[in-house]
Structure 1
């Protein structure tokens, strides 16, 4: 259930799956059925999902693993320390990754909630 997802995961998924595209709409319908299976051990907050695929339909997508959504992170100072990527496998959300491009700014999923700038 979405209630069991940590706030950083829920907020970032809502921000990156915010378009009217049919793929994003299908993935948003999956969120209430997601749970976090594991988190990256480095502390970045990257989350790997578990999903009961019998409860929700897949998004129309190419088979295999693809980036379903991405958003650049921009700080209040205008710096771009990284990005967030939502991955799907076979049409199902599989993980949410935060990537750092900077050694000077700590980039975590929690910090990404404040810095998200969705790509067009």
Structure 2
């Protein structure tokens, strides 16, 4: 999606922001302007963004903080060990979160990307 974001962040945003949903289309237009401000220290890959709001239009998400994307992750065996969430504040991408629900399965952006791939 963009060369300015770390590859794992760009790849997952590309998979979870649907090109068929109007709010997601507006959020996708913001991605080239995103920069990662910080990352979670636990290794999950969650990323907190900074964005020049004057450079892009807000998505029609409302004024507060909203979950713009909520995608459950499924392993090859059908287990659901976590999810990926994308948050927007005031219509602007704010952070990408990787949540783990299972201590037995490692959940991070790399595994999320693999599990989000369409079946071949």
Number of residue pairs matched by the alignment:
118
Answer yes or no: is 1:41 the counterpart of 2:41. yes
Q: Distance in 1 between matches of 2:30 and 2:101?
A: 29
What TM-score, normalized to structure 2? Answer: 0.92
Alignment of 1:2 onto 2:2: yes
Q: RMSD between aligned alpha carbons?
A: 1.6
The aligned runs of 1:56-75 (5 Å cut-off) are 56-75=56-75
Give 1 or 2: higher strand fraction: 1
Dislocated runs of 4+, deviation >4 Å: none
Q: Write the distance in 1 (CA, Å) between the matches of 2:16 and 2:49.
A: 16
CA deviation vs aligned residue, 1:12-70 (integer Å, no higher than 9, x gap): 10111014221101000000000100000111110000101111000012211000011
Q: Equivalences for 1:74-89 in 2 at 5 Å?
A: 74-89=74-89
Comparing 87-96 with 60-69, greater Cα deviation is found at 60-69
User: Do the aligned partners of 1:71 and 1:117 also contact (CA within 8 Å) in 2?
Assistant: no
